[in-house]
Amino acid sequence: MNDVTGLADPSRLIEAARVDIAAASSPEALEEVRVRYLGRRGQLTLMMRDLGALDPDARRRAGAELNDAKDRITAALGEAAARLGRAALEQRLAAERADVTLPVQFTSEGRIHPISQTIDEIVAIFGEMGFVVAEGPHIEEDFYNFTALNIPPEHPARQEHDTFYLPPRRGRQSNREATLGAADDGSRLVLRTHTSPVQIRTMLAQQPPIRIIVPGRTFRADHDATHSPMFHQVEGLVVDRSTHMGHLKGCLIEFCRAFFGIDDLPVRFRPSYFPFTEPSAEVDIGCSRAGGRLEIGAGGDWLEILGSGMVHPKVLHNCGIDPAQYQGFAFGMGIERVAMLKYGIPDLRTFYDSDFRWLRHYGFLPLDVPSLVQGPLNGAGAA
């Protein structure tokens, strides 16, 4: 082709550009090539600028050739960009190849929190005895938390519970309030102070026979070395036609021995009082405190671990269950407390610190198969 501009031959320019483009091995290098030919001071741009000096005929011819050159170089740049993109993708695919057939590699970083572990063990033991898990809300109506459990508004037990009350609801009457004729504060919302309201919810929702186990969070305005404003309880409730104190005792002795893994663990029932059970009994397990060291098992000393009793006839009545036909027993236990005893955890507050070193020590490996009643056989350091 002729040297139409008198400066350079467009066909040679295209050839030179193709060589440069082929040599560009990265998007950055390719961009440099583009600027070299098509940039503001690029070779082709400068040639176009020189067209003005030609006479009209030559300008038209040369202009067409330069435009054609520009199209070809632009197309070559586009192809090269696509090629570089494909190469980069292929490189990434090769580098990041994952073999999905390899066995999973566990980092062993995660741990099951001792509270979760303890709940699982308790539920497993009662599950064996035919109990099913039930749950209820953390924000509870006063009626379920107190009144229906035979704790009327003026009852002193309400003070002992250090209740967190929520602000009164405005402009809304609850179902309870409607049916009870707006009893003073029957609809007032509280953070439940125990898991016992789930007894009420269950009995109102279903007819006996009932056999439930209720693990969950509970709340009291109390904070020191042995009390936390949030803690966990597990509630149990059995209601049937001929349930009696012997069932309560047999069931709880069996539980204590299974949970602590001691077949002949002494268990004692000590008369007590709860408004919602009659008679009521506190349950103690045998222990020894010789040399200032607490050890669970026989030893002449006692340690209280849970509250229990026969469901008060008034409570059954409040739930529409005829006390002349049905009896029941109930119990409530602090989960932190039994977890501390079983796993030797000295300070209640550490449960909620989210300290990873603590969890590494007292937590349980998720894939260890726990013996249902005694925790992991070869778990983390809690043994």
Q: How far apart are CA 15 and CA 11, in angstroms?
A: 6
Q: Are strands 267-274 and 375-376 parallel, antiparallel or unpaired?
A: unpaired
Measured from the CB atom, the residue of 5 and 308 that comes closer to ligand PHE is 308
Shortest approach of ligand PHE to residue 290 CB, angstroms? 30
Residue with tokens 């990041």: 96
AA letter at 251 = C
Q: What would the two tokens of residue 65 be? A: 């050739």
Q: Are 174 and 218 in contact (CB under 8 A)?
A: no
Measured from the CB atom, the residue of 14 and 149 that comes closer to ligand PHE is 149
**Would you list the DSSP string of 148-166?**
GGT--TT-THHHHTT--BP
- Measured from the Cβ of residue 97, the count of other Cβ atoms closer than 10 Å reads 7
Q: Where on the chain is the footprint of ligand PHE (CB under 6 A)?
A: 194, 196, 235, 274, 277, 307-309, 330-332
N- to C-terminal Cα separation, the chain:
91
Q: In Å, how far are 159, 230, 234 from 221, measured between CA atoms?
A: 11, 8, 19
Measured from the CB atom, the residue of 260 and 276 that comes closer to ligand PHE is 276
Shortest approach of ligand PHE to residue 233 CB, angstroms? 6
Q: How far apart are CA 101 and CA 123, in angstroms?
A: 36
Measured from the CB atom, the residue of 302 and 358 that comes closer to ligand PHE is 302
Listed in sequence order, the residues at least 6 apart from 235 whose beta carbon sits closer than 8 Å to its beta carbon are 194, 195, 196, 198, 199, 212, 213, 214, 216, 330, 331, 332
Shortest approach of ligand PHE to residue 149 CB, angstroms? 8
Measured from the CB atom, the residue of 46 and 230 that comes closer to ligand PHE is 230
Measured from the CB atom, the residue of 45 and 272 that comes closer to ligand PHE is 272
Measured from the CB atom, the residue of 46 and 341 that comes closer to ligand PHE is 341
**Which residue number is nearest to ligand PHE in terms of Cβ?**
332
Shortest approach of ligand PHE to residue 274 CB, angstroms? 4
Shortest approach of ligand PHE to residue 332 CB, angstroms? 3
Shortest approach of ligand PHE to residue 245 CB, angstroms? 13
Our CA angle for 151, 153, 155, nearest 5°, is: 55
Shortest approach of ligand PHE to residue 305 CB, angstroms? 11
